[in-house]
Amino acid sequence: MFLKSLIFLFFAVGSLQNTNAQRVIRKGVTENRPAGNNGKPVPKYSISQLNGKWQEVKRVSIDSNLAVSFSDSLLLDFKEDKVEVKDATSMRMTMKGEAQIEAPNTLVAAADVFKIRSLDKRTLIIGDGEFVKELQKKEQFYYETLGKLKVEQDTVSKPVSIDIKNVKGKWIVYARKAIPGATNDQTALIRSLDIGSISEDGIAFGQATFYTKDFTKTLPCQMVTKDGAIKIVTDQYIWNFYTYKADGVEFVFGETGKLVYYAKH
């Protein structure tokens, strides 16, 4: 009788140990995660939600939690389970490949891997380990409109005074008009202006992206305007122009007969 009881106790302890062993959970994995019929975790998002074009509009450092300036906007173009990954600086598709989402929220886009932080119909927020990037859904990437927007002939006549509040936001130069000899390989040409704030005394603050034959840079800038004249100041360059239009939709500035910039959001 004693032997039978000992054998029963032995199997009972073994069964309890097996049960406990089955409940060991890998570090970083929660026990109550969503699971499918086969017990595997279920992705929070689907590739079909990403179908279309996504353009980076904001970048925040994970370490400092501060927004950073950038010119190499991430561009993602999803077509079913395929994706093209583009760097706006290079103006070419850098990678093409498969697109998939691994549970619970890992996006694999060609050779790049991101963590999806949130996703809705218009906004995608992802992290790459260094930055958090906010992308917006677009019908066309901004570079696809360059050269296709019609330059309005009546926007340039005489300088006009503008309300500096109308220059807030990101302006992409879609056209320039210059007479021969007005620029050369070393002329710093403005590619975009991103104005984030305006002080009470009418000084605008933001970033200016400009380039020459040798480089492209984005630097903090200040902007002031008065009586049809405008000054854009960075640590490296200062531009003095005239203003011809700033209605919140189009921003036209420069110097008639030399170089005039046409910019839109």
Separation of alpha carbons 22 and 37, rounded Å = 19
Residue 72's pLDDT band (cuts 50, 70, 90): confident
Beta strands in 144-247 (DSSP E): 169-178, 189-198, 204-211, 216-226, 229-233, 238-246
The verdict on domain 146-264 having CATH code 3.30.930.10 is no
Q: 163: helix, coil or strand?
A: coil
Give tens-digit pLDDT for 231-243: 999 999 999 999 9
User: Is this structure's pTM higher than 0.85?
Assistant: no
Instruction: Give the pLDDT of residue 19.
Output: 39
Of 219, 212, 216, the residue nearest 68 (C-alpha) = 219
Q: Specify the domain boundaries for CATH 2.40.128.280 within the chain.
A: 47-143
User: Average pLDDT of 232-255?
Assistant: 94
**Among all chains, which residue has been given the structure tokens 């189009």?**
250
Q: Specify the domain boundaries for CATH 2.40.128.20 within the chain.
A: 146-264
Read off the DSSP letter of residue 48.
Answer: G
Beta bridge partners of 197: 205
Domain 47-143 -> CATH class? mainly beta
138 in Cβ contact with 221 (< 8 Å): no
130 in Cβ contact with 65 (< 8 Å): no
Read off the DSSP letter of residue 45.
Answer: S
Give tens-digit pLDDT for 164-216: 999 999 998 888 888 888 888 889 999 999 999 999 999 999 999 998 888 88
Give tens-digit pLDDT for 33-54: 455 556 678 899 999 999 999 9
